[in-house]
Structure 1
Amino acid sequence: MSGTLAGTGRQQHSAPGDPAGGSRAAVRIRGLRRTFGIRDVLDGLDLDIAQGEFLALLGASGTGKTTLLRILGALDRHDAGTVLVPETRTVVFQEPRLVPSKKVLANVTVALPRGADTRETGRRALAEVGLDRHADAWPATLSGGEAQRVALARALIREPELLLLDEPFAALDALTRLRMHDLVGELCRRHRPAVLLVTHDVDEAIRLADRVAVLRDGRLATDERIAIGHPRDSADPRFAALRTRLLTELGVHRAPADHAPTPAKELPA
């Protein structure tokens, strides 16, 4: 599979195989370094994401999660190392970033070739996210969850080999967030892109991902495959045990049952 060296445009070939075995790597990172001033935000990072694999990335604010995502999306450069990614990749941000002057269907198909075929493909993409009746609506009339579903349809219509999700549910209310989890999980299993989800929500990471990793000091402190079938129940003892391990890696200890979790130390802002 051909890929692009992120931030350069030079064509590269990604090597087959991934740490889990069997699948070809959609993303292959070796020795990645990104420096801001005198600080190495990413410091010799190694990472593989297999084709069709869903990886959730956790970490305290300022640890470089979004920096990594931006490098993979060609929105930022890297200072050293090798980054191999597919040519077809899309990003869904925390904000839907819809064009206010374009209706919903036009937002989904923005920058694609004009014509009846594209419009029909756009309508099918909207139907996948449950918004086929909103094709002619203006973005200002949508709820937050509806707007984010439009952003998801806009990303998936391009059939990306790599889907980058930058805390896309953070601004949604709790019920809408759970519904979006179900939708994103279903669509990713259907379309099978490699997925990188950046999130602060441990339960969200466990609920959605095939693997979950914790970024600390510029490298992966934890990288664990989730051996729990879908759908996942937060009451499952395996879910709770993984949550506890991840919170510990994030510097948070479990509080007594009648209290909310308490930070063991102050995390970076």
Structure 2
Amino acid sequence: MTTAVEVKELRRVFGERAVLDGLDLTVRRGEFVALLGASGSGKTTLLRILGGLDGADAGEVLVPRARTIVFQEPRLVPSKRVLANVTVALPRTETGRGRRALAEVGLAGHARSWPATLSGGEAQRVALARALVREPELLLLDEPFAALDALTRLRMQDLVGELCRAHRPAVLLVTHDVDEAVRLADRVCVLRAGRLVTDEPVTAARPRDLGDPACLALRRRLLTDLGVQPTGTAVNSTATGAI
């Protein structure tokens, strides 16, 4: 596979603090990478730089031109119906693509709904459809499930996994949830002190059972690298493993 993201010696400084300090990262096309780190470790700063919303102070960042971001909040336009939110800033002739994207996320019947009538999970699915309708080569996910209840979160994880395998963009998911990372990603990275201290492949077969010994062993390593003492195991469907 060819490279979609190439980051070398990336540095971003706020005041006297280097949030990113010589960070290197490569993401291949079609690869799903999850990025873990404590609050304030620079995860969202990296995502914003890759998305073109922030700049680097030093280093090299190569990303595809076609890239989209899904944030923790759906960020829908209240005055536009669902279909118009999906196709916002696209030519009017693209409504067919918008309807197909809504069907992919299970919202074919909501094209004329208003954002205020949607549940949190439905609104986030609209945001996902809006991102995918643009056929990005790089999809950036900034804790997109954090505001959802546990069961909706699991359903959204499954949906995102299915859609990413179908569309094959390079994906970078920023999350605090170790189990979410293990469940979805091809690789899991841990960001600490401005650099990646862990870059582990997830070798367990899909669909993944978090009680599988390989998943449990990876989970323990990731928690240790995050500075958290592992306690217990994630063996049920509502375990979050969040830090």
Same-fold call, TM cutoff 0.5: yes
Aligned to 1:193: 169
CA distance in 2, matches of 1:261, 1:229: 20
Query: CA-to-partner distance for each residue in 1:138-162, whole Å, 9 max, x for gaps?
Result: 0000000000000000000000000
Alignment of 1:50-199 (within 5 A): 50-115=28-93, 118-199=94-175
In the alignment, does 2:226 pair up with 1:250?
yes
Instruction: Identify which of 17, 23, 34 aligns with 2:12.
Output: 34
Q: 5+ unaligned residues in a row in structure 2: which ranges?
A: 234-238
* Alpha-carbon distance change, 237 to 123 in structure 1, aligned in 2, over 3 angstroms: same
Deviations 1:161-211 (A, max 9, x none): 000000000000000000001000000000000000000000000000000
Larger radius of gyration: 1
CA separation in 1, counterparts of 2:232 and 2:178?
18
CA contact (8 A) 2:35 2:191 kept: yes
Q: Which has the higher contact order (CA 8 A, sep 6+)?
A: 2
Q: Which SS does the other structure have where 1:204 is aligned?
A: helix
- Partner Cα separation in structure 2 for residue 262 and residue 240 of structure 1: 11
- Structure 1 residues 61 and 187, CA gap change in structure 2 (3 angstroms): same
Offset from partner CA, 1:226-264 (integer Å, 9 cap, x none)? 11111001111111111111000011112367xx9999x
**Identity in percent:** 74
Q: For residues 11-30 of structure 1, what are the structure 2 equivalents within 5 Å? A: 23-30=1-8
SS of 1:140's equivalent?
Answer: helix
Alpha-carbon RMSD across the aligned residues, in angstroms, is: 1.7
> One-letter code of the match for 1:39?
R
Work out the CA distance in 2 between the residues paired with 1:246 and 1:235. Answer: 15
- Number of residue equivalences: 238
Is the 2:73–2:144 Cα contact (8 Å) retained in structure 1?
A: yes
C-alpha separation between the residues in 2 aligned to 1:242 and 1:57?
Answer: 14
Q: 1:164 to 1:261 in 2, by over 3 A?
A: closer
Offset at 1:24? Answer: 1.0
Q: 1:57 & 1:255 partners in 2: Cα distance?
A: 21
Aligned equivalents of 1:80, 1:60: Cα separation in 2: 23
